[in-house]
Structure 1
């Protein structure tokens, strides 16, 4: 037998990695400062990002934005008693506490679901597969912010959409990561 890991151990490790995540509210512009200081304290952090394109002064600008702006997921091990130090970490406003003074744990499965939606190129993928006829919004590229309808799905990494331009429908190819369902 090779030195690989046991599949049941791997599943247990995945389940364990999904446990004990909390949500920290960030101070304005505090993402880099918070992640750096939390890492110094030994906390694991996670924030999913999405590529977008915005039109400013008549020009297209590619940008990356957080899926949950102003918030950062922080993993706190159950035996870690220093979770209170997160509230005084530079860049962090506070841990989200829905009831009382103890932080509220993120429901199990959320982090693993989010991580599963990050592609090999780091792009955030849609929640489900697209289907012909679905209404979508283009979030990145030259057609950013346009509303379209899916026309064809020839390959996994490209989608043909129908855009309304100048009074008629125009067919364009778009990468799935640049679309979001309506």
Structure 2
């Protein structure tokens, strides 16, 4: 999830804001109103509810939001008083801690700008993946074949035996 004005300056610092419980949407909206860009990488999970499988989006870092503060607007204290935000993370008293820009850049490469998981273009035979959706969610598998774009054949260890399955590439993530 992202909000706020999208800045073209890649040298501007990123900070980590701790959110109030249930404050993600409110924080993103109010930070955007103040002109801050925010980024929350999200992953899709499968949960069983009332006897059926549902897909839900969950934050990769629950309770935290990346916030870019433009150099021309270094009034980071206003972030602390934003609705939905508990505080900006400060490892030193009185000074917020900057997030390594390479970390944020790597997360943005791995996740689309709207925060959803962006699968690598090349899934290769022999790579290990984690199933993230469906009844096999959270199981590790090894790629056995990649016959067509969007589908892979995997080998799962399931109940003490190896089982073959065909999955969509959106249903797995690299480990």
SS, match of residue 79 in structure 1 = helix
Q: Does 1:90 align with 2:83?
A: yes
Residue by residue, what CA displacement relative to the aligned partner does 1:41-93 show, whole Å, maximum 9, x if unpaired?
A: 11111111111111234421111111111111111112214210111111101
Give the Å deviation of 1:120. Answer: 8.9
Contact 1:52 1:178 in 2 (8 A): no
Runs of 4+ in 1 over 6 A off after TM superposition: none
Using the size of structure 2 for normalisation, the TM-score is 0.81
Q: Would you say 1:132 and 2:125 are equivalent positions?
A: yes
For normalisation by structure 1, the TM-score amounts to 0.78
- What is the 5 A alignment of 1:142-153? 142-153=135-146
Aligned: 1:160 with 2:153: yes
Does structure 1 conserve the Cα–Cα contact (< 8 Å) formed by 2:12 and 2:71? no
Give the superposition deviation at 1:139.
Answer: 1.1
For structure 1, which segment, 47-56 or 124-133, has the greater mean C-alpha deviation from structure 2 after superposition? 124-133
Work out the CA distance in 1 between the residues paired with 2:140 and 2:116: 21
Aligned residues: 170
Q: Which ranges of structure 2 fall in alignment gaps of 5 or more residues?
A: 1-6
Distance 2:82 2:22 in 1: 14
> Structure 1: 5+ residue runs without aligned partners?
1-13
**Secondary structure of 2:76 counterpart:** helix
Does residue 1:107 correspond to 2:97, yes or no? Answer: no
1:52 and 2:52 matched: no
Cα–Cα, structure 1 residues 50 and 152, in superposed 2: closer, same or farther, change >3 Å? same
User: Match of 2:172?
Assistant: 179
The two structures, once aligned, show a CA RMSD in angstroms of 2.8
Secondary structure of 1:102's partner? coil
* Structure number with higher strand proportion: 2
Partner of 1:116: 109
Of the structure 1 ranges 70-79 and 15-24, higher mean CA displacement relative to structure 2 is found in: 15-24
Aligned to 1:76: 69
